[in-house]
Amino acid sequence: MKTSKILLAACAMLFAGSLAAQSIDLGRGELPVTVPEGYDDGTPAPLVVLLHGYTSSGANQDTYMGFSELADSYGFLFVAPDGTRESGGDQNRFWNASDACCNFYESEVDDAGYIASIIEEMKSEYSVDEDRVYLIGHSNGGFMSFRMAYEHSDTIAAMVSLAGANHMEMREAPPNGVHILQIHGTADSVIIYGGGDIQDVRYPGALGTVRRWATYNGCSMEGAGRELRDLDASLPGHESGTYLFEAGCRPGGSSELWTIPAGAHSPILSDTFAEQVIEWLLAHPKTRGESG
């Protein structure tokens, strides 16, 4: 009896260790997977995918934003993949996200396909909640998150972009609603809050991005202000305004803007920034209507 208990305890320890250091590989090297404490194959867990900014990496982006540290307390699976390196210049990592950002060496890399394959591999290896697949992206990663939301609206429940932007041109609405949150500082000198260009290719501003997705999601264009939020530790109080399009939206869709006044491209994030983003995501699962 004592021997069997020791064996069970040893197996439990090995299982716990395997959860703490797991990875997947889809041809770009091993991608670490954060598995929450208490994960159970019988209980589907949300999946959060973090996409880094231009020149950064998945690990560096997570160090800045701190989302993996919340996996245990909120119970989500987490991955932060790397983009490929440029063929010239400083060989920076990038995502092939939009005409504006940031495929400067005309690579043919299919990052949308790669990220979609990560999601599918996570579903095959782990118990993932099909209605709680989420993206978070900073800058170039924000552009990439918008591309994924548009091209994979059947899969992505909600996405958050910090200092990214949507594609510029008006397109047909994607088949399914997606919850969209754009976070942007008005003093961003890299991706301009009001819209701008990168190497003469235009991108929309923060409000234009959110309005476009309100249109895609079939929402009333009468937005509404909500509570102030504390997003930037360098600014006093609850400094950031919120603006929401949620009335009349089709199932699974809404569009929201959090504006950081005088906020930079990489703001000094408040102690609760990551929690606020994760709680927003978890409050916006995929709702499947006739088109879902």
Residue-wise pLDDT for 44-53, tens only, equals 999 999 999 9
Task: Give the domain 2-282 fold.
Answer: Rossmann fold (3.40.50)
Q: What is the per-residue pLDDT for 84?
A: 97
Q: Which amino acid is at 242?
A: T
User: What's the predicted TM-score (pTM) here?
Assistant: 0.92
Other CB atoms within 10 Å distance of the CB of residue 286: 24
**Cα(225)–Cα(228) distance, rounded to whole angstroms?**
9
**Cα(156)–Cα(150) distance, rounded to whole angstroms?**
9
Assign 24 a pLDDT band (cuts: 50, 70, 90): very high
Q: What is the per-residue pLDDT for 21?
A: 54
Residue-wise pLDDT for 72-104, tens only, equals 999 999 999 999 999 999 999 999 999 999 999
- The answer, yes or no, to whether residue 19 has pLDDT greater than 60, is no
The dihedral formed by the CA atoms of 228, 232, 235 and 241, expressed in degrees to the nearest 10? -20
**DSSP-derived secondary structure for 177-199:** --EEEEEEETT-SSS-TTEEEET
